[in-house]
Structure 1
Amino acid sequence: MLAVILVTAPAAAQIPTPASVLGFEPGADFHLATYEESVEYFQLLDASSDRISMMRAGRTSEGRDWWIALISSPENLSSVEQYRDIADKLAHPAELSDSEAQSLSLEGKAIVDVNGGLHASEVAGAQHTIQLAYELVADESPRISAIRQNVITVLWPSLNPDGQTMIADWYSSNIGTPYEVSSMPWLYQKYIGHDNNRDAYMLNMIESRVLARTWQEWDPQIIYVHHQSSPFPTRIWLPPFAEPIASFTPPIMARTVNTIGMTIAQMLESRGMPGAVHMGTGFDAWYPGYVDYLPMMQNQAAFWTETALYRYATPHFYTLSDFPPARRDLRVESLYPSPWKGGWWRLSDAVDYMRVGSLAVLDYAAKYKEDLLYNRYQSGRDVIRKYETSAPYAYFIPQDQPDPVAPVELLRRLAFNGLRIYQLNQDVTHEGLTQDAGTWVLPLDQEFGELARQVLSVQEYPDLREYPDGPPEQPYDAAGWTLSYQMDVNVIEVTQPLTPEILSAMQELETEALAWEEEIADASP
């Protein structure tokens, strides 16, 4: 288990503002905080208040300590293990009845993961977390107090510590030169760069493993990842996603994310912040490899948003002549009812849109925490019931493979993402085929069964057209990824229920997770 060290400083102590530590407000023109500066501020918050507790989640590829902050009421933080245990029980519902789950949902607290900075050149995300932390700790308004009372916020200062510092240093070195808004000429995350959000099921990167492991440790009901690439001239793109979405997305989770997207838009409108848009033809959720969407198949409401970006912390002025011709009439649309009219766009604007987005999500969680907790249970329960009575019931993975290492690597990744793997201790016969002792079995009647189905089934991308009989719409990302094909592993789909003989021959493969130790350089199991 991850160790949580709770502070004892009273909430009424003098709480430092971001500007008093950084020397500038988060989002100020021509200023970017490095990861080290951000963590310094978070640690000072930790030392000054009993509403926040910093903890180390792991280490990055370049060796930086990677931190998260738990923010809630002092009472919740003192009982955080109790609430984490409740979240864990609801996430794994096989041993619970509906009435037990309802009782736990009433007793528990919503756990919401908020973060930014995954794509380090999308700089507002890792700047907004600084301001958000201050507000969640220091603000005494009824809305924020209710959030602290009902929600445990898991706030990452940045999802890409290495990249945050690289980009901040690069930008700072070029301010006032012809290269002020130039792209950094090396990757902002070791080996993988901008594709660091596409490693969710392969888990090749240390950072992906730390993230997956932390989310399994805390079992958040909502995961919100901030990005910064809204379709111009809109100011923020929000769910619902464009078509298509992943074939095996649990419907309760899809509905929850759609509702949250509209909730964010409503709060933005209420604060006079125009330009929110939904759906469109850009950001679909077909590909399950996104770190900010794969948790949907683990019955977590996971999503991302895209806030507008110019470049780094340099402000820019837009006129209607900069807009695409189709947007210059500022036409009101059902999913874009308050078109942005142009003007200055600063990093502080992007930070503010993200801050309001995060607060809207936390406010939603505070108001509907019982529903969020119970829906996590219900979604997992429904997946179990689905595959108890419908095919495919399981997958057999024989040991006899062209590459004997490949099935092990495939199954390791599924197991790291929370799927339970079994192995036959004797030969069995099923559907006319003999499965040898040692064959691996992946039953689908488990709470994350849709994840296995999503990555092992053959994809059939829908025939979506730009207009009737027109050209196909371009997929936003990968259209196919069947892991058994990509890794050349023979995976046998089981179309009839597993017999009692097979069930009695299945032994679950188990291993103990390693504790975070100083000498461990990554998050491998």
Structure 2
Amino acid sequence: MLTSLLLAALLSTGAPDKDKPTLKTPFEQGNGNQTATYDEAIKWYQQLDAAYDEVKMMPYGTTDVGRPLHLVIVSTDKDFDPASIKQKDKRVLLIQNGIHPGEPEGIDATMMLVRDYLQDKKRRKQLDNVVLAVIPVYNIGGALNRNSHTRTNQNGPEEYGFRGNARNLDLNRDFIKTDSRNAQTFHEIFREWDPDVFMDNHTSNGADYQHVMTLIATQHNKLNPGLAKYLNGKMVPTLYEGMKQDKFPMVPYMNTVEETPDKGIIGFMESPRYATGYTALYNTIGFVPETHMLKPFNQRVQATYKLMENMIETVHRDADEIGKLRQQAKQQTLAQKQFPLNWQLDTTKVAQIPFLGYEAKYKPSEVSGLERLYYDRKSPYSKKINYYDEFTPTVAVEKPVAYIIPQAWREVIDRLKLNKVQMQQLQRDTTITLDTYYITDYKTGQRPYEGHYLHSDVKVETKRMPRQFYKGDYVVYLNQEANRFLVETLEPQAVDSYFNWNFFDGILMQKEYFSSYVFEDLAADYLKKDPELRKKLEERKKQDPAFAKSARAQLDFVYRNTPHYEYTHQMYPVGRLMQDVKLPL
């Protein structure tokens, strides 16, 4: 195992400035198997801020545990204004650590990285066109809840934080539903700084293999085509080659087809609930480094350090290209007409990638006596494995001219405001003819998931109809940078729509009913006056024997085809304005 002093020597490539403090981190001062506590990390960054005019630590908002979320900016020309930085055409690289505080490599590696770049004049030049924005610890509540046992499958460090935050939420499932104050503050940071590239440092779970570092990149099929071409054709290969030269050959994240990696792996399709799924909505290239949990902690820290180093070098080298591609992507998002909502894996397209693994074998379990899996580290192998990383859209939607959102749905309005969505309000009560969805079918999870009973497989029927809206209701035009965010949250069929996260569940419960003995005479009268309705009833009885035997079901069928049935039942309240009409705004 590498000593902490040897590791520090490997990571640092230049001598520190003589007039600056050494700023050794808690990790470096330990035995290579210790990670900084939250308080130690914040105190260390405060010292870095005091020592360097090029560093500014800013407290943003708050978190569920009551502590502020800090953002550390490293800007070599001492400009800490995001608007000014954008005008100078500099790239912003946002590095987030500790979203899962039991996976803390990024916390320690980033501290050493920013210090080393400031103290090494050669590497410092790479920051002339790159501004580093660092969230030292994102899940502060989890970081304060330290223990030595909950990461059962992990090799160190000696103590670490807990995955759940102060509300026991997994914050890497919270970027759309935004239940936590942490996520609310993140949206403020993200939308203000508009990073070009985003890194969210993690540790893996799963199979055993030789690689120390695995990587999730934004799923390229979901990314703007120009950015996707650059990502797959240039950026990712550069990172892989750099890590290979640094003696940390990478492989994509081990999302396995079957139990073991040798059967092949699948690209990770991150929906917007995840960090990089969310950032892709704004044409930000995202990465989730996942170090291997069974490698010694100091190796995992070193691999994380080296990947971030390679990332800075790549963003510095390609700064102009990344900037132009993002600007093009933003313009194309403004003009884009069709937006895919859901995806499926294309198993006909497969690549072969190099993989360094261990033979998967089986033996009797000493616990159950039954067969159990183990990886034989005495039997390493190097071979090509299948990699499935092509997805095709299954549902797409034409964007409307605007969404009209009744002000009653304040939880949704609040989340749009957090994302700096441009909205206007009606200045008087108005009847507007527009497209309205009715929810015709959906599935709901039978167990809670991150505080919600998540919907899925939503089916809708579209009706064009006049609807009454009121003074103060919101009109959201689809001519803004947030277009894709709006479509993927406000279209109910999207996998992480606000509908699927239960923010519109009030529409799913019928409010008025009928008594059978009272409605019998009314139903008979409707059938006499409407032969077409009588015909539909008789056809339904022929097709459905159970329906034919149920008097209540037949009365309900008639009821739903009369004005007595409430038209708002299962009516999705967000209207889709498909033609640009003059509204009282």
TM-score by length of 1: 0.67
Tell me if 1:53 matches 2:56: yes
Is contact 1:242–1:282 with CA below 8 Å preserved after alignment? no
Amino acid at match of 1:445: N
**Whose strand proportion is higher, 1 or 2?**
2
Amino acid at match of 2:498: L
Amino acid at match of 2:113: L
Aligned-residue CA RMSD in angstroms?
3.4
Q: Following TM superposition, by how much is the alpha carbon of 1:33 offset from its aligned partner in structure 2, in angstroms?
A: 1.3
Where does 1:281-296 land on structure 2 (aligned, <5 Å)? 281=265, 284-296=268-280
Tell me if 1:456 matches 2:490: yes
Matched residue, 2:67: 64
Structure having the higher Rg: 2
Where does 1:111-150 land on structure 2 (aligned, <5 Å)? 111-141=92-122, 144-150=123-129
Q: Following TM superposition, by how much is the alpha carbon of 1:415 offset from its aligned partner in structure 2, in angstroms?
A: 2.4
1:16 paired residue among 8, 13, 21: 21
Deviation sequence 1:12-50 (CA, Å, 0-9, x none) = 45333353x63x517843322111112222222222223
Is contact 1:225–1:303 with CA below 8 Å preserved after alignment? yes
Q: Following TM superposition, by how much is the alpha carbon of 1:353 offset from its aligned partner in structure 2, in angstroms?
A: 1.0
Is contact 2:270–2:277 with CA below 8 Å preserved after alignment? no
Is contact 1:242–1:283 with CA below 8 Å preserved after alignment? yes
Return closer, same or farther for 1:80/1:351 CA change in 2, 3 Å cut-off.
same
Deviation sequence 1:146-196 (CA, Å, 0-9, x none) = 3221111012222223323432xx23999xxxx988998976411134x11
Q: Identity, % of aligned pairs?
A: 19
Q: Following TM superposition, by how much is the alpha carbon of 1:386 offset from its aligned partner in structure 2, in angstroms?
A: 1.9
Q: Following TM superposition, by how much is the alpha carbon of 1:388 offset from its aligned partner in structure 2, in angstroms?
A: 11
Where does 1:460-479 land on structure 2 (aligned, <5 Å)? none
Q: Is there any run of 5+ residues in structure 1 with no aligned partner, and where? A: 1-10, 88-103, 311-344, 461-479, 508-525
Matched residue, 2:208: 232
Matched residue, 1:497: 579
Is contact 2:98–2:138 with CA below 8 Å preserved after alignment? yes
Q: Following TM superposition, by how much is the alpha carbon of 1:213 offset from its aligned partner in structure 2, in angstroms?
A: 0.5
Where does 1:276-355 land on structure 2 (aligned, <5 Å)? 276-277=251-252, 281=265, 284-310=268-294, 345-355=295-305
Q: Following TM superposition, by how much is the alpha carbon of 1:206 offset from its aligned partner in structure 2, in angstroms?
A: 0.9
Q: How far apart, in 1, do the equivalents of 2:498 and 2:117 lie?
A: 42
Q: Following TM superposition, by how much is the alpha carbon of 1:387 offset from its aligned partner in structure 2, in angstroms?
A: 4.1
Q: How far apart, in 2, do the equivalents of 1:180 and 1:366 lie?
A: 33
Q: How far apart, in 2, do the equivalents of 1:145 and 1:15 lie?
A: 15
Deviation sequence 1:81-131 (CA, Å, 0-9, x none) = 2x53353xxxxxxxxxxxxxxxx5xx3211111122110111212121221
Deviation sequence 1:269-298 (CA, Å, 0-9, x none) = 111223433685455234111133202111
Tell me if 1:434 matches 2:413: no
Return closer, same or farther for 1:482/1:173 CA change in 2, 3 Å cut-off.
closer
Matched residue, 1:251: 225
Return closer, same or farther for 1:362/1:494 CA change in 2, 3 Å cut-off.
same
Q: How far apart, in 2, do the equivalents of 1:358 and 1:180 lie?
A: 21
Q: How far apart, in 2, do the equivalents of 1:440 and 1:212 lie?
A: 21
Is contact 1:113–1:155 with CA below 8 Å preserved after alignment? yes
Is contact 1:27–1:124 with CA below 8 Å preserved after alignment? no
2:124 aligns to what SS in structure 1?
A: helix
Is contact 2:20–2:51 with CA below 8 Å preserved after alignment? yes
2:19 aligns to what SS in structure 1?
A: coil
Where does 1:503-514 land on structure 2 (aligned, <5 Å)? 505=584, 507=585
Q: How far apart, in 2, do the equivalents of 1:436 and 1:237 lie?
A: 53
1:192 aligns to what SS in structure 2?
A: coil
Where does 1:109-188 land on structure 2 (aligned, <5 Å)? 109-141=90-122, 144-167=123-146, 170-171=147-148, 188=164
2:177 paired residue among 202, 207, 215: 202
Q: How far apart, in 2, do the equivalents of 1:257 and 1:202 lie?
A: 28
Where does 1:373-452 land on structure 2 (aligned, <5 Å)? 373-387=323-337, 391-397=398-404, 399=406, 405=408, 407-426=409-428, 427-431=430-434, 433-438=465-470, 439-452=473-486
Deviates more, 1:438-447 or 1:278-287: 278-287
Return closer, same or farther for 1:255/1:213 CA change in 2, 3 Å cut-off.
farther
Return closer, same or farther for 1:63/1:449 CA change in 2, 3 Å cut-off.
same
Return closer, same or farther for 1:429/1:158 CA change in 2, 3 Å cut-off.
closer
Q: How far apart, in 1, do the equivalents of 2:40 and 2:298 lie?
A: 18
2:290 aligns to what SS in structure 1?
A: strand
Q: How far apart, in 2, do the equivalents of 1:443 and 1:410 lie?
A: 16
Q: How far apart, in 2, do the equivalents of 1:495 and 1:437 lie?
A: 13
Matched residue, 1:482: 497
2:44 paired residue among 41, 46, 68: 41
Matched residue, 2:165: 189
Matched residue, 1:30: 33
1:25 aligns to what SS in structure 2?
A: helix
Q: How far apart, in 1, do the equivalents of 2:323 and 2:89 lie?
A: 8
Is contact 2:100–2:163 with CA below 8 Å preserved after alignment? no
TM-score by length of 2: 0.61
Return closer, same or farther for 1:232/1:367 CA change in 2, 3 Å cut-off.
same
Amino acid at match of 1:376: R
Amino acid at match of 1:45: L
Q: How far apart, in 1, do the equivalents of 2:150 and 2:474 lie?
A: 54
Is contact 2:491–2:497 with CA below 8 Å preserved after alignment? yes
Q: Is there any run of 5+ residues in structure 2 with no aligned partner, and where? A: 1-15, 256-264, 340-396, 435-463, 508-571
Deviates more, 1:290-299 or 1:390-399: 390-399
1:284 aligns to what SS in structure 2?
A: coil
Q: How far apart, in 1, do the equivalents of 2:63 and 2:165 lie?
A: 9
Is contact 2:102–2:161 with CA below 8 Å preserved after alignment? no
1:267 paired residue among 229, 242, 249: 242
Is contact 1:395–1:491 with CA below 8 Å preserved after alignment? no
Tell me if 1:213 matches 2:188: yes
Q: Following TM superposition, by how much is the alpha carbon of 1:257 offset from its aligned partner in structure 2, in angstroms?
A: 4.5
Is contact 2:218–2:280 with CA below 8 Å preserved after alignment? no
